[in-house]
A and B are shown apart, each in its own frame.
Chain A
Amino acid sequence: MNSKFSLKKIGYYIVSLPIALAFLFPFYWAVVNAFKPRAEVLKYPPTLFAKQPTLESFINLFTAGNGNFLFFTRNSFLVSIGTVLLTGVACTLAGYALSKLKFPGINIIFVLILSIMMVPFQALLIPLYTLMHDLGLLDTKVALVILFSTFRLPIGTFIMRNSFASLPESLRESAMLDGASEVQILTRIFMPLAWPGLLTVVLLAFMRSWNNFLIPLVFTTSKASQTLQVGLVTFAKQRFYTNWSVINAGSVAGMIPVLILFVFLQKYFVRGMLAGVSD
């Protein structure tokens, strides 16, 4: 009985481990190549380990073109944090209202918010472009924050509404009897209980705005507002040849923030992705 059990276990590992390693290999390969000297990157057959690991590619990445990549990275952080704040606040307030401050007809508002999901943002790029043009927001980080947040609203509001709905109405009533204001009730009574929902919403918002490419590609043109993803593509396409050492270093640098968040807060990512499944 016991030996059969462990045999089954070994079989399981024999199947799973190679698949897991195959999934991790592309990460490994980007990292190894980012640490190889340029001459070793352009070698065939490829070397499986960095024989003389060096930071050369990273130094090139961050110093090339007057440190443009630093600018792109900074912009990505600012835009993603801006999106996190706007999405977090807007969805929390709306979710609370939709769940605890209901009035006849409020569901129409909920349907309007959810209907954003029915139209892919790609289909709205054209009118949004002329709108941003008229508002004088083309090529600004503000435009990116607004657009990223708008398309996070349906799922964010949905998650927050559900978070509050699972909490009892009596919490609000007893706080009201104590004379607490609505904002106090929300921040002091409900948020300490509803924070997992908010964390899910803002993590997804951070990841989506950090990773998105099409929106910054269309709405930004200068290094003052372009993000890391656009910067990486500019790097790869501006030269006559592609500098693969720098691209590998840029890929590694560009995925570190989301990977760190992901590894530590995986539970919330999974929850968020299940709630608002989309590629």
Chain B
Amino acid sequence: MKIFSKVSRKNKRILKSILFLLPVLILAVMFFLVPLVDLFRMSLKDVSLLGSDKFIGLSNFRKLLFNDPEFWQSLKNTAIYSLMYTPPRLMLATTLAILVNRKIKGITFFRTSFFIPLSISFIIAGYIWLWMFNDTFGIFNYFLEQLGILKQPISWFGNTWLARSAVTIAMVWKTTGLIMIIILAGLQGIPEKLYEAAAVDGASLLQKHLHITIPQLRSTFALAIILSVVGSLKVFSPFYVMTEGGPSQTTQSIVMYLQKMGFSYYRLGYAGAISIVFAIMLLVLSVGQFKLMGVGKE
């Protein structure tokens, strides 16, 4: 009798637990697992909204990887953006983190200023900067003229590299705050006595940062780099708003190409294949990211 009640209490607990988990499980299964499995099925088919639904094996992947210059161009555009975006973002974030890592009057103001662009949308950030980069009325050209860097206003979005630079500048502004707080958290984890010991040895400020801060932050930097690369590979809205992929598709990102194939041309099977290639690329990076973050650890 006693054993029976014990077992039933245990079962009741499991039942309660599952009831509590139900909302999350329903969402996760219906809107994550099912579509994930469906993605693989679709990528092996010639699916379009017009009704065709033919099994074609790996044809989509074969075409995508060996016979689709636009896909490779998008991949290249995204990789270039990633390389342009990651280093300045990291350097700026490190500088800002060092600046705000102290107790001084007005620190909240500085911290908020660097962090606040994170809260607005990529669309709004894109439009704010698109307007500042406007070739005829833009304040950016005006400042550069005043500083004597430009003789006359230039068209930022008529040239591939200028367009990429404009988006990079806008996005570094928008997202540096995130890396700043990660590095700040890392900085605050460095034991104070390391700096004290260095001070006793008469180290300069630069030496302290070079020999203590940077080596101590190695895994923080690794995380920041992965995050930046992941973020830039997923880029969509800023280019969609600021360059629309132009000039002549040299700033079209992978997600833009995926969205175009899927929802402008309705080639769902083919867009599914693009999705899988894209997801695999990111999976490798994400594994590293979560290892560094220690997600899932007790």
Contacts and interface: CB of A to CB of B under 8 A. Distances in A.
Contact of A116 (B28, B268, B278): B28
A12 interface: yes
Contacts of B263: 125, 129, 218
Interface of B: 10, 13-14, 16-18, 20-25, 27-28, 30-36, 38-39, 42, 47, 96, 99, 102, 104, 106, 109-110, 112-125, 127-129, 131-132, 134, 136-139, 142, 153, 173, 175, 178, 181-182, 185, 223, 227, 230-231, 234, 236-237, 240-241, 255, 258-259, 262-263, 268, 271-272, 275-276, 278-279, 282-283, 286-287, 290, 293, 295-296
A1 interface: no
A102 B20 CA distance: 11
Interface majority SS (helix, strand, loop, mixed), chain B:
helix
A279 B234 contact: yes
18 contacts: A9-B104, A24-B116, A30-B131, A46-B142, A93-B22, A94-B23, A103-B14, A110-B296, A118-B287, A126-B268, A150-B31, A158-B295, A229-B121, A244-B137, A262-B116, A266-B112, A277-B182, A278-B230
A70 interface: no
A41 interface: yes
A123 interface: yes
Contacts of B96: 19
A32 to B, nearest CB: 10
A234 B110 CA distance: 35
A15 B227 contact: no
A146 B31 contact: yes
Contact of A90 (B27, B120, B175): B27
Interface residues of A, number: 96
Nearest to A214: B236
A213 interface: yes
A60 B23 CA distance: 43
Interface stretch (A50-58, A61-69, A190-198, A250-258): A250-258
B20 A120 contact: no
Contacts of B10: 103
A225 to B, nearest CB: 16
A102 B272 CA distance: 38
Contacts of A30: 128, 131
Contacts of A86: 23
Contacts, number: 268
A101 B17 contact: yes
A202 interface: no
Nearest to A103: B14
Closest 8 CB pairs of A and B: A279-B231, A211-B121, A101-B17, A127-B35, A97-B20, A123-B279, A20-B113, A127-B38
Contacts of B99: 12, 15-16, 19
B259 A125 contact: yes
A262 B114 CA distance: 13
Nearest to B34: A131
Contacts of B178: 273, 277, 279
A177 to B, nearest CB: 14
Nearest to A259: B119
Contact of B104 (A12, A90, A131, A263): A12
A128 B36 CA distance: 9
A232 B123 contact: yes
B23 A93 contact: yes
